[in-house]
Amino acid sequence: MIPIRDTITSRTIPVVTYIIIGINTLFYLSQAGMESGINSFIYTYGFVPAKLTVPEIAAYFTLSDIIFSTVSYMFLHGGLWHFVGNMWFLYIFGDNVEDHLGPFRFAGFYMICGVASALLHFFLNPLSPVPTIGASGAIAGVMGAYFILYPKAKILTLIPIIIIPWFVDIPAFIFLGFWFFIQFYNATDSGSVAGIAWWAHVGGFISGIIMVKVWGELPQPPAEEKLKSLTARKKSPKLQNIHARPVSNSLDLTGNIEITSLESVVGTMKLVNIPWGFYTRLYNVNVPPGVQNGTQLRLAGMGRVGSYGVRGDMYLTVDIKNPVL
């Protein structure tokens, strides 16, 4: 299952999430450009439990080196797909958690979740000489927070069936609950034998659940509200999943399409996914400039199919978010 986007549109641009993705990208490109010494680099800056417990290994590292590695390991990755997968999950779930906590508190939340995941991995694998790298633990914390904050949100998920892409809305508590179950099952079944620090994922997820309540109660920095106003979103998501509803006594369907105040003034183009029955259909929808809240856009022939191939229409009701005050 590949998450495409969620149905909760954040009110602000997730600046810290994008910065974290940018830093990870720089580190990954640096790793990819290393012609030699990559193993030594990963062992130095990755989190290795044996640095604290095995004297023969600990002798090569100072205490400051070991402490620093509990943070630096979060920005290293083992390969392209490891990097891409982590950054994509952070992109999907990070914006809403950052929107809830605020950028400054989110930055601290992310880092502490990463450290907490490393510590749980250490306590359960204290003698492991294998370096743990990757942002998975910290991102698992973000997912744990999302699980608590937005359990009823829907995750638009791509499920490939052979070569046919099938898009389906999955409630967040099911999507994330299933993800956590897989991590926990693999952790109890194999620990980190398979080359993946499953317990770090579990630890990050649990720490995110615990911390989101505590962290959200911390005082809001004075600059945070100003930053929120500067980063308020001007555009709604390009891809939107339409929850089609039948119109009684007709072949027509109806649903809502979200746009922002700016888009209502200047117009926009959206790619909408309209699932109906066992069919999933993708269409480009042109939203003309000057539309009002509640305006209906008619998509001719995109409704249900009746007798003799007759098709109804699809009516999308414009829902303007983030109105300009």
Express each pLDDT in 135-178 by its tens digit.
Answer: 999 999 999 999 999 998 889 888 877 777 777 889 999 999 99
The confidence score (pLDDT) of residue 198 equals 85
Q: Are residues 297 and 159 in the same domain?
A: no
Question: What would the pLDDT profile of 237-274 be if each residue is shown by its tens digit?
Answer: 777 778 888 888 888 999 999 888 888 999 999 988 77
Q: Are residues 50 and 165 in the same domain?
A: yes
CA distance 228 to 226: 5
Average pLDDT over residues 202-213: 92
Rounded to two decimals, the pTM is 0.77
Residue 188 phi, psi dihedral angles, 5° rounding: -75, -25
The confidence score (pLDDT) of residue 76 equals 94
User: What is the DSSP pairing of strand 253-260 with strand 314-321?
Assistant: parallel
Question: What would the pLDDT profile of 61-100 be if each residue is shown by its tens digit?
Answer: 988 999 999 999 999 998 899 999 999 999 999 999 999 9
With 50 as the cut, is the pLDDT of residue 324 above it?
no
Q: Are residues 144 and 188 in the same domain?
A: yes
Q: Are residues 206 and 288 in the same domain?
A: no
The confidence score (pLDDT) of residue 214 equals 84
Q: Are residues 211 and 75 in the same domain?
A: yes
Question: What would the pLDDT profile of 197-206 be if each residue is shown by its tens digit?
Answer: 888 899 999 9
Q: Are residues 279 and 179 in the same domain?
A: no
Q: Are residues 7 and 94 in the same domain?
A: yes
With 60 as the cut, is the pLDDT of residue 194 above it?
no
Give the DSSP per-residue string, 106-138: HHHHHHHHHHHHHHHHHHHSTT--SPB-SSHHH
Residue at a domain's end among 230, 255, 278: 230
Q: Are residues 120 and 220 in the same domain?
A: yes
What angle do helix axes 80-101 and 136-149 make, rounded to 10 degrees? Answer: 40
CATH of the domain at 168: 1.20.1540.10
pLDDT band at 210 (very low <50, low <70, confident <90, very high): very high
Q: What are the beta bridge partners of residue 268? A: 287
Q: Are residues 67 and 216 in the same domain?
A: yes
Average pLDDT over residues 276-285: 70
Q: Are residues 225 and 89 in the same domain?
A: yes
Domain that holds residue 29: 2-230
Distance of CA 31 to the CA centre of its chain: 24
With 60 as the cut, is the pLDDT of residue 56 above it?
yes
Residue at a domain's end among 208, 230, 252: 230
pLDDT band at 106 (very low <50, low <70, confident <90, very high): very high
The confidence score (pLDDT) of residue 158 equals 84
Q: Are residues 258 and 194 in the same domain?
A: no
Task: Judge contact between 261 and 289, C-beta under 8 A.
Answer: no
Q: Kindly report the average pLDDT of the chain as a whole number.
A: 87
With 90 as the cut, is the pLDDT of residue 180 above it?
yes
The two structure tokens encoding residue 110: 């992310």
With 80 as the cut, is the pLDDT of residue 115 above it?
yes
CATH of the domain at 261: 2.60.260.20
Residue at a domain's end among 183, 206, 230: 230
With 90 as the cut, is the pLDDT of residue 289 above it?
yes
Higher pLDDT, 130 or 221: 130
Q: Are residues 135 and 156 in the same domain?
A: yes
The confidence score (pLDDT) of residue 322 equals 61
Q: How many structural domains are present in the chain?
A: 2
